[in-house]
Amino acid sequence: MASTKAKVCFVTPFFYPVIGGVETHILESAKELIKMGYKVEVITSDLDRKGKIKKEHEIYRGIEIKRIKSWFRISFGEIFMPGIFDAVRKSDADIFHFHGLRHMYNLAEFSTKKPCVITPHWPDYKGQRSFFIQLIIDTLDFIASGKMLNRCSAICEVSELEEEWLVSLGADRKKIILTPNAISDEFLRKHDGRRFRKKYNLGERITVLSLSRIHKSKGLDQIIKVAPKFPNVNFVIMGKDGGAEKALKEIASKLHVNNVIFAGQVNDKEKMEAYAGSDIFCAPSHFEAFNISLLEAMSQGCAPITSDKGGMPWVSGKSGLTFVDEDIEDLKIKLEKVIQNKKLREKMQKSAVERAKDFSWKKTASILDKAYKKALDLNK
């Protein structure tokens, strides 16, 4: 058990009510740490994805949230908020846990003498940035990323495949620990997918689900392009429009695709029913450090197929198949294997459920607990 006097402060550009992979990781880890006796604080910006959040201070699920005034946003996750340095300096937290890398707020690590931990979340998006932005990233990596990483007592990777990337930036391999994303116990209960199948008139046909923010980085155009090759299969694309839905629908219209359904944004219950009512989950993203949606789908018995980018092949493990990103023919071959071979499909589905059981927020929090205790002992 952690001491009731130990306080951890998470530092991140976005937090509740913003919903995303990083935000979920922090929230779920924090909930478990609170159960273990920690006090938890989050220092974040006053922004959500589109505008500003009015409340400067808030308590949510026992987590004290302090929102720092943002002056302007440079990019999706890069926010200029100079007040974060003073906030870290004045915080009474015993240890700071930074989420993300290559951001201005990472420099706040050097404004405190207290121990720090970092989870970079593997932001290796080469090929998806403009030349100018990539040049800035490469320069920052050369000058400072290694120093930002090694200032910390522990460097948390979310998948084992992230390690070599961290080392390439200059991270001390001995400091790297595995603290993967996970799922709550609710996902380990089998849900009922009949309502989902009935709502979209899916019948008895095999259904391939993709769930993510509808953004060009998610590679969903690959689903549209492969769908005509499987006219007797349902393809369902589910998630909030992130700016790419119109373009995807135009591709579908041009290719005369009639077996792809755009389901839009759904609530948690509908999401769980979609996982339970689908046969295959396809994650065609051009890069994901982990992909929590993939793990959620596996917990409900979806056979996983992912691109070969980022940590997704590690998440699905032996239960899944991978295709070469942007190779539609390879995606077709992998889908064909699973669609046409019922025995293989059922084997993958069963294996996926068992693989998903390995990931729990309680387990991830217990690893963090050990890392925090070690850091605090070294700082005495």
pLDDT in tens, 287-321: 999 999 999 999 999 999 999 999 999 999 999 99
Q: Residue length, the chain?
A: 380
Q: Is 3.40.50.2000 the CATH classification of the domain at 7-182+360-378?
A: yes
Count CA atoms within 13 Å of residue 221 on its CB side: 16
Stretch among 71-75, 118-122, 178-182 having the lowest mean pLDDT: 71-75
Segment 184-212 shows an average pLDDT of 94
pLDDT at 232: 96
Q: Which CATH superfamily is domain 185-356 in?
A: Glycogen Phosphorylase B; (3.40.50.2000)
Region 164-174: mean pLDDT is: 95
Q: What pLDDT band is residue 130 in, cutting at 50, 70 and 90? A: low
Average pLDDT, the chain: 93
In this predicted model, what pLDDT tens digit does every residue of 81-99 receive, in sequence order? 999 999 999 999 999 999 9
Confidence bin at 77 (pLDDT 50/70/90): low
183-208 residues labelled b (16+ CB within 10 A) or e (exposed): beeebeeebebeebbeebebeeebbb
**Strands 63-68 and 57-60: what pairing?**
antiparallel
Give CA–CA dist 126/137, Å, rounded.
10
pLDDT confidence of residue 263: 96
Query: For 223-270, what is each residue's pLDDT tens digit?
Result: 999 999 999 999 999 999 989 999 999 999 999 999 999 999 999 999
Q: Which residues of 299-323 are buried (b: 16+ CB within 10 A; e: fewer)?
A: bbbbbbbbbebbbbbbbbeebbbbb
- What confidence tens digit (pLDDT) does each residue in 101-112 have? 988 899 999 999
Residues 6+ apart with CB under 8 A from 291: 21, 283, 285, 306, 310, 311, 312, 315
pLDDT of residue 315: 97
Res. 376: pLDDT tops 50: yes
Tell me the three state secondary structure of residue 368. helix
The domain limits of the chain are 7-182+360-378, 185-356
- 181-195, 196-210, 352-366: lowest mean pLDDT where? 181-195
Q: Residue 50 — very low, low, confident or very high, per pLDDT cuts 50/70/90?
A: confident
Give the up-direction half-sphere exposure of residue 162: CA atoms within 13 A in the CB hemisphere.
Answer: 26
Residue 58 pLDDT level (bands cut at 50, 70, 90): very high
pLDDT value of residue 1:
45
Say yes or no to pLDDT of 2 above 60. Answer: no
**Predicted local confidence at residue 131, as pLDDT:** 65
Question: What is the four-CA torsion angle of 322, 327, 329, 334, rounded to 10 degrees?
Answer: 10
The answer, yes or no, to whether residue 32 has pLDDT greater than 50, is: yes
Q: Are 84 and 11 in contact (CB under 8 A)?
A: yes
